[in-house]
Amino acid sequence: MAAQMARGLSHVGPHIVPGPAIATDLRLSDGLTLALPPGLPSARRLHAGLYEPELTRVVDSFLQTGMTFVDIGANVGYYTLLASLRVGPTGTVFGFEPAAEVYPYLEGNIRRNAASNVVVSNLAVAEGEGMTTFTPSAFEGGFLTGVNHQPHGHLGVTPESVRVDVTSLDLFMEDRGWPPIDLVKVDVEGSEARVLAGMKRVSAKNANLRLIIELNLNALQRAGTNLHELRQLLISLGFDVGYVIEKGLTPIPLHRHLPRSGLIYNMMFTKPPR
């Protein structure tokens, strides 16, 4: 119960106690530094070393030299830079961040750390190519609000919504000659189904692909989807088991269900061995 309360507070806390009003620098392992913008909700947790510790350990322990990591919803680059260090000069990291006010920090953090194995793109990732609507939200929590190719005025578009360029993972990787991919991390505040719908060929070409998704029931509902639809998409991509990262990688076969929780949690999905 205490662990659950701590995880809940880690997400609610930033809204109660906002991030520092000034830009700050964060020193990560092995000399990496991260510039954090003023008001970043997770800044205090990052500085205290309390930011998503279970997920950080899983990503850190899984990635090895020469691997390829895809960070969809990279924000200012925390996982992008950690992955850059782990995969080394023979590996590759792709980071995607559509928010116009966040992307310069991501790009700047990659540059200041001379992370030459990282490719970042100011794109949303969904089911196809074109433009979509996006609602920024306090540097973290921005989300897609419209269906691909729909004009302003579509249900869910707010006065704060902006148009952003969008691609699918399939189209992006096809343009780059289908590099092998080991791990995809998706943190898109409810639009996970749209990402999955656009990565069918990527999944088919990578038999050992692992996928990490942040699951937030409220965000899924806002996006017009649910856990059942997400589970069916995962199964269609060849995944058969999910592991709840915040519960010590507890395995859950996908033919059963995905866990329902009022808390935000992360799961890693794997395919059956071949």
- pLDDT of 265 over the 50 cut: yes
Q: What is the pLDDT of residues 191-219, one digit of tens each?
A: 999 999 999 999 999 999 999 999 999 88
Q: How far apart are CA 6 and CA 136, in angstroms?
A: 26
- Rounded to the nearest integer, the mean pLDDT of the chain is 87
Output the CA–CA distances (angstroms, integers) from residue 105 to 18, 97, 101, 138, 187, in the order listed: 19, 10, 8, 14, 17
Higher pLDDT, 161 or 186: 186
Q: Is 18 exposed, middle or buried (0-12, 13-18, 19+ CB in 10 A)?
A: middle
43 — pLDDT class (breaks 50, 70, 90) = confident
Kind and range of the H or E run holding 54 = helix 53-62
CA distance 1 to 6: 9
Q: What confidence score (pLDDT) does residue 36 get?
A: 92
Asked if residues 202 and 94 have their Cβ atoms less than 8 Å apart, the reply is no
* Domains assigned to the chain: 55-270 (3.40.50.150)
Please check whether residue 242 is in contact with residue 269, taking contact to mean a CB–CB distance below 8 angstroms. Answer: yes
- Alpha carbon distance 99, 102 (integer Å): 5
- The answer to whether the Cα torsion of 62, 63, 69, 75 is positive or negative is positive
Q: What pLDDT digit, counting tens, does each position of 116-150 carry?
A: 999 999 999 999 999 988 887 765 578 887 654 33
**Tokens (6 digits) for 201:** 């060929």
> What is this structure's pTM?
0.88
The pLDDT tens digits of the residues spanning 160-172 come to: 788 999 999 999 9
Residue 154 pLDDT: 39
The tokens describing 153, both together, are 């005025």
CA dist 52 and 268 (Å) reads 14
Q: Give the tokens for residue 17.
A: 């106690």
Quick one: pLDDT band at residue 155, thresholds 50, 70, 90? very low
Q: Which stretches does DSSP call E strand in the chain?
A: 24-27, 33-36, 68-72, 92-96, 118-121, 124-125, 130-135, 143-144, 162-167, 183-186, 210-215, 241-244, 250-253, 265-270
Q: What single letter denotes the amino acid at residue 44?
A: R
**Is the pLDDT score of 176 beyond 90?**
yes
Number of residues that this document lists for the chain: 274
